[in-house]
Structure 1
Amino acid sequence: MRIAVLTHMVHPVRSPYSGGLEMHTAMTVTRLVRAGHDVTVYARRGTEFDVPVEVVPVLPAEGHADEASRDAGAADACARVLDSDAEAVLNNSLSRQPLLRLRDLPMLTVLHTPPTIEPVLAVLDEPGWTAPNHHRWASVSAANALAWRHRLPQTDVVPNGIELHRWRSDALPVPGRAVWTGRITQEKGLHLALDAARMAGMELHFAGPLSDPAYFEREIRPRLGAGTRYHGHLDHRRLPDLLATGEVYLATPLWAEPFGLATVEAMAMGVPVAALLTGAMGEIVPQQAGELAVHHTAEALADAAGRARGRDRAAVLAWACGFDADTMVAGYEELLVEARQALAVPVR
């Protein structure tokens, strides 16, 4: 199948990834190419993959792209897709433009966020708007699908997956160490993890891109000191060695987390999880893999960490093995085939 992949235009897709969406796009494209599909990716310049794939740059690699620039880039990408020989579209863009411009093409839109992106909601909420019969929608979790249900006619659930074979390390757990990874922004809750680790009598080692410098200076730097270490922005060759040293992983989303890739990566290392119960955390962190904090407080998270750190690491790993990238992409392939078939069937 000739597949056009539309990416989120905030960052280039390359390692070390700026966030879970960039890593997700890389995994998906790699597997589609290896499955024999002809894939063209529309992205920011500087996007790189480990497989031979055509990348069509629609925005510069460097510099901040504001919402208007990203919208224009997505519109340009859609125009190029319409001029191409693409047979189907995988929409990973979080943009309104594919919904407006690609109604005539078979398309799968992956719902990576709750229904909070105003330009997208403005399209869906337009009086008289209906989803084309040959469009499909896949949410990364059941919790996120439920949030979209009143706007979209049918939303399938295709849980995110990871490349399980990459999450291996010879490093051993360090007694008394908690770990945290992710984008360093307010909604990811690193400040809460630092407070909880200190209350639990544990050190906290953390890593991730400094996506919000003002937040770091306001909330994180004052909390640094003895028992804390920032490892910088690690790529996926070095992250496993950090995660493996944790007795427990602290997952602290302060928004309706649609999935939690970083949490699954930790569990794939056998690291038990203590998580705030928000968004999809209740789906991806069962009792065999960790504990859910009863309140969104550092005290409750510290208590959950104390209980989670004793979980059997082999049981945690066994649970994480259900989140496999191959299974995820097979789900996308099935929905793309459905979308193509629906285009050939007249709507009665």
Structure 2
Amino acid sequence: MTSSPLRLILISTPIGFIGSGKGGGVELTLVAIIKGLLEMGHHIVLVAPYGSFLPSGCEGAEIITVKGIDQSSWQHQVPDAPITIPFNGMLPKLVEVALKVSKNSDAILNLCYDWLPLWLTPFVEPKIFHLISMAGVSKLMEATVRDLSKTHHSRLAFHTFSQASDYELIDQPIVLGNGFDLKNYHFQLKGQGPLGWAGRVAPEKGLEDAAKVAADLGDKLFVWGLIEDKAYASKIESLVPEGTIEWKGFLNTQEFQSQLGSCRALINTPKWNEAYGNVVAEAMACGVPVVAYRRGGPGELVQSGVTGWLVPSDDIEGLKKGVLNIDKIKRQNCRDWANESASYQMFAKRINSWIQSGLGIR
């Protein structure tokens, strides 16, 4: 029990209901925060899209669901795209409900990566804190974060320093990492299975590079994740020998980690600056070494030569070399890193300290 229990309102992503997979890593992050803060004695109210559900361990949270049209993600728009909100849009509805129910609360924690809650922060009475879930992909969002940093820097937090470096901040960034319920990830000491890749199947994730590595090495590649772009997925499959890719789909954590844990290595190939790299942490929690581009969050998570191999961005030959040298990595090192750096309990403590400090409690 924390010495200062808080009543907190959490705003979920407006691009899909929790459990749909559309929210990407935000869904896992949200669950980790809720579980951790509940265990610390806080009262949690989650405002989320209709259809959202929370897994075991989050029963103590109150959930208010809202109907509306999903917001488009900034990562799927051009860098200088303008603000657009569909008629009956989810974004303003989530914010409106959160503000209404926050009257007797201590703070709002926003996990929605969009301009509206950021822009509103100086103008509303509830104190809104923002865990920024993406690196800079929009000029408008970068400007909005920059402007809020000038007036309310302590209300902004990031997952990694690499992510935060995309933004022009008035002071050093508040970096909180991320967290997972590690008891749900079973350590597998021996992984003699195929190569693995996980994430939303969309161009910015770079699946084609991992597929080429597997094809060139004559290996099989298990692919987990929601196929957002079916044409992109079909194109990748056409570029490699039949049977190279085995599509595993979007699975719940139990099924995902069980299959992932048998892999020899996870290949991580983002074409953009990943904010954190949840699948990298999940793989290491299972004992699976990671071969990744030295780009964004994964470049901070993987210790080259200890928990996997980091190679220059877009260096496919480097990826192949890393895979060929994966037997030099001790799988126990990977699980040890997860235990020391990525539990949801530690993550929630960092979240708690950040918010309590921002409220002037300590």
d(CA) in 1 for partners of 2:149, 2:302: 37
Distance 1:19 1:309 in 2: 30
Question: Where does residue 120 of structure 1 map in the other structure?
Answer: 141
Q: Which amino acid aligns with 1:197?
A: A
From 90, 93, 97, the counterpart of 1:73: 90
Q: Distance in 2 between matches of 1:272 and 1:315?
A: 9
The equivalences for 1:249-260 within 5 A come to 249-260=266-277
Structure 1 residue 59 corresponds to structure 2 residue 78: no
2:283 and 2:325 mapped to 1: Cα distance? 17
Measured after TM superposition, the shift of residue 277 of structure 1 is 1.3
SS at match of 2:186: coil
Q: Deviations over 1:219-254 (max 9, x none)?
A: 234436234311122110101121121111111111
Structure 1-normalised TM-score? Answer: 0.88
Structure 1, gaps ≥5 residues long:
none
Distance 2:23 2:259 in 1: 18
Matched positions, count: 337
Rounded to whole Å, the distance in 1 between the matches of 2:25 and 2:144 is: 25
Q: Distance in 2 between matches of 1:248 and 1:70?
A: 45
CA contact (8 A) 1:9 1:74 kept: yes
* 1:17–1:240 Cα change, 3 Å: farther
Question: Are 2:311 and 1:303 equivalent residues in the alignment?
Answer: no
Residue 234 (structure 1) aligns with: 251
Instruction: Tell whether the 8 Å contact from 2:217 to 2:320 is kept in structure 1 after alignment.
Output: yes
Distance 2:87 2:298 in 1: 30
Aligned 1:206-245 pairs, distance under 5 A:
206-223=223-240, 225-245=242-262
- Give, in whole Å, the separation in 1 of the partners of 2:230 and 2:245: 18
CA deviation map 1:30-82 (0-9, x unaligned):
2222322221112110111131322222334xx75445139943333333333
**Aligned counterparts of 2:343 and 2:152: Cα–Cα separation in 1:** 30
Change (3 A) 1:170 1:277: closer
Cα gap change, 1:78/1:16 in structure 2, threshold over 3 Å: closer, same or farther?
closer
8 A contact 2:11–2:47 mirrored in 1: yes
Alignment of 1:181-330 (within 5 A): 181-223=198-240, 225-286=242-303, 287-321=305-339, 322-330=341-349
- Give the Cα–Cα distance (whole angstroms) in 1 for the partners of residues 21 and 254 of structure 2: 9
Q: Contact 2:289/2:308 (CA < 8 Å) preserved in 1?
A: yes
3-state SS in 2 of match to 1:336: helix
Partner Cα separation in structure 2 for residue 141 and residue 196 of structure 1: 27
CA-based RMSD: 2.6
Runs of 4+ in structure 1 off by over 6 angstroms are none
CA spacing shift, 1:130–1:295, aligned 2, 3 Å: closer
**1:167–1:265 contact (8 Å) kept in structure 2:** yes
- Normalising by structure 2, report the TM-score: 0.85
Whether the 8 Å contact between 1:16 and 1:235 is mirrored in structure 2 is: no
Q: Check the 8 A contact 1:131/1:153 in 2, yes or no.
A: no
Q: Does the 8 Å CA contact 2:187/2:287 hold for their aligned counterparts?
A: no
Q: Does residue 152 of structure 2 align to residue 147 of structure 1?
A: no
> Deviation of residue 320 (structure 1)?
2.2
Query: For structure 1, which segment, 323-332 or 193-202, has the greater mean C-alpha deviation from structure 2 after superposition?
Result: 193-202
Question: Could you tell me how far 1:94 is from its partner in structure 2?
Answer: 0.5
Is the CA contact 1:17–1:23 (under 8 Å) kept in the aligned structure 2? no
Deviation at 1:337, TM superposition (A): 0.8
What is the alpha-carbon distance in structure 2 between the residues aligned to residue 226 and residue 121 of structure 1? Answer: 42
C-alpha contact (below 8 Å) 1:6/1:89 kept by paired residues: yes
Q: SS where residue 48 of structure 1 aligns?
A: coil
Task: Note the alpha carbon deviations across 1:105-124, whole angstroms, 9 max, x for none.
Answer: 32321122112234433434
Match of 2:51 in 1: 46
Q: Percent identity over the alignment?
A: 21
Q: For the structure 1 residues 239 and 125, does the alpha-carbon distance in structure 2 shift closer, same or farther, using more than 3 Å as the test? A: closer
> Shift in Å at residue 258 of structure 1?
1.5
Match of 2:177 in 1: 159
Question: What amino acid is the match of 1:108?
Answer: F
Listed as ranges, the matches of 1:168-187 within 5 Å are 168=186, 172-174=190-192, 177-187=194-204
Is the alpha carbon distance of 1:214 and 1:152 closer, same or farther for their aligned partners in structure 2, counting shifts above 3 Å? farther
How much has 1:145 moved relative to structure 2? 2.1
Q: State the one-letter code of the partner of 1:328.
A: F
